[in-house]
Amino acid sequence: MEKILNDVVVIDAVRTAFGRAGEKGIFWKTRADDLCVPLLKALIERNHPMQPNMVEDVIWGATNQMKEQGGTIGRSISMLADWGWDIPGCSIDRLCASGLTATGFGVSYIATGMADCLVTGGVEHMGHLPMGYMRDPHPRAEEVMGDASAFNMGMTAENIHDRFPEFTREMADAYAVLCQKKADRAIKAGKMKEMIIPIEIELVDGISIIADKDQPPRPDTSIEGLAELKTPFREENGRVTAGNASGLNDGAAAVLLMDAEKASELGLRPKMRWVASAVVAVDPRVMGIAPVPATEKVLKKAGLTMEDMDIIELNEAFAVQALYCLDRLGLKWDDPRVNIWGGSIAYGHPLASSGPRLVAFLMNIFKENPGARYGLTTMCVGRGQGYSVIWENLLGE
């Protein structure tokens, strides 16, 4: 007997400001779980008549699930938000795509009738929990993944440069400058205000501020400045720098998913409808190429083409992998549909929160482009995976 899937819609998507990881970061004295709680509260406050008891599960991405991100953070944050004991929760780890996977799992729950309303999202405090913190790789890990470079994301980007030398450092730097310029225009135009939930925090010097602006963007980035940067992953003939890569960051993002009929019953207007999802695996040594087969797979599932994608949100782990993916998907490096408000090279990449951040960007760009019908969120994943999701604009003309 064929099962008819329920329509799954996005009601809202929010995030914190993103901070730089480390003592100079705005969230150095803020816990990861305390970044999540205000987002849960905001989703309820912004979407009357929503009540916490309508949420049937909190599915939360976290790459490093230990210390403040451990103990099943998806369960604890709803209680910290004063939602009581009755809201279940769990944690998901798919490295960089943990938050997008959490959202994908939430879609599956609702589509199959297991739930009507879920909150999904992710958090990463890379200042408190750096990449690889307390991990114990299997003795055969290097062997099965190809070599040691598979463990170092910067090296995987250098590997793409090696395998595909048509993508040069100069091209990567030019892409990075474009990203920063687009982000600067979007920030100055106030595009971030609706999605960023202000949080009161204490800085390292004891001063309290309201964190409502992203810390990583560098609007003064120039080709000349980038050319002078060192290549930390390969001293000789390296091409990957801090300027043409996403940074190490802290932040959280959340998505409110609902069954379309439930949204109608509550009088809530959906922003996007889920169309299709796809996940793939590739050579871990060039993990950044994975959005290509993931996107090809999801397009096939949806019966659509790249020409049908009106807005594309590609997570830029590194400029070179973004260039590769755009080229292999038949797009120009400066295609106006791609990362309209800039991407992770400017805003940062706090791992598990980056996928839901893509969803938030797409949702808000859809609002400004009612003529756009379909949008793509896609990202590469450490250890060689790719995740792509197609969404339909429900705020169209």
Alpha carbons 94 and 136: distance in angstroms, whole number: 17
Alpha carbons 317 and 354: distance in angstroms, whole number: 10
Instruction: Characterize the bridge pairing of strands 385-393 and 272-281.
Output: antiparallel
Q: For residue 26, give the amino acid letter.
A: I
Q: For residue 169, give the amino acid letter.
A: R
**What 3-state class would DSSP assign to 96?**
strand
**Helix residue ranges per DSSP H, the chain:** 32-45, 73-80, 98-111, 141-145, 153-163, 169-188, 223-227, 260-266, 291-302, 319-328, 344-347, 354-368
Task: Provide the annotated active-site residues.
Answer: 96, 349, 380
Contacts of 211 (CB under 8 A, 6+ apart): 16, 17, 19, 26, 27, 198, 199, 200, 201
Q: Do the beta carbons of residue 378 and residue 388 sit within 8 Å?
A: yes
**Helix residue ranges per DSSP H, 199-278:** 223-227, 260-266
The candidate with the shortest Cα–Cα distance to 341, out of 173, 171, 176, 184, is 184
Q: Do the beta carbons of residue 153 and residue 317 sit within 8 Å?
A: yes
Q: For residue 33, give the amino acid letter.
A: D
